[in-house]
């Protein structure tokens, strides 16, 4: 179950960013082709949209870093728990063989 969750996280984390960047590119291209504004207004629009895209990308990156840290912390906890279980198993095995 956990392996499936981790696999889904790996797949989801990069794909969303790629689609987001593709959307920005397509949108900017369409804006240039079909813009009824002057060149100056179009440039202002592109600058504004690129700033919005940058802000969204930075926020998504921060969210991904936070999520990655939480996954790392949880993985570390699981490793510590597993290590404790192995140690207890060794103690039990050692005690029963004596």
Q: pLDDT digit string (tens) for 34-64? A: 767 777 887 888 788 888 888 888 888 888 8
How far apart CA 47 and CA 28 sit, in angstroms, is 10
Band the pLDDT of 82: cuts 50, 70, 90: very high
pLDDT at 32 over 80: no
Annotate 63-86 with b (16+ C-beta within 10 A) or e (fewer): ebeeeeeeeeeeeeeeeeeeeeee
Q: What is the mean pLDDT of the chain?
A: 80
CB atoms within 10 A of CB 17: 14
pTM value is 0.48
How far apart CA 5 and CA 63 sit, in angstroms, is 17
């Amino acid at each position: 179950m956990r392996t499936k969750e981790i696999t889904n996280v790996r797949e989801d984390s990069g794909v969303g960013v790629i689609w987001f960047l593709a959307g920005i590119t397509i949108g900017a291209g369409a804006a240039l082709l079909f813009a009824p504004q002057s060149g100056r207004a179009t440039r202002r629009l592109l600058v504004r949209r690129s700033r919005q895209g940058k802000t969204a990308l930075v926020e998504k990156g921060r969210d991904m870093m936070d999520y990655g840290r939480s996954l790392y912390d949880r993985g570390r906890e699981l490793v510590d728990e597993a290590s404790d279980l192995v140690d207890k198993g060794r103690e039990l095995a050692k005690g029963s063989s004596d």
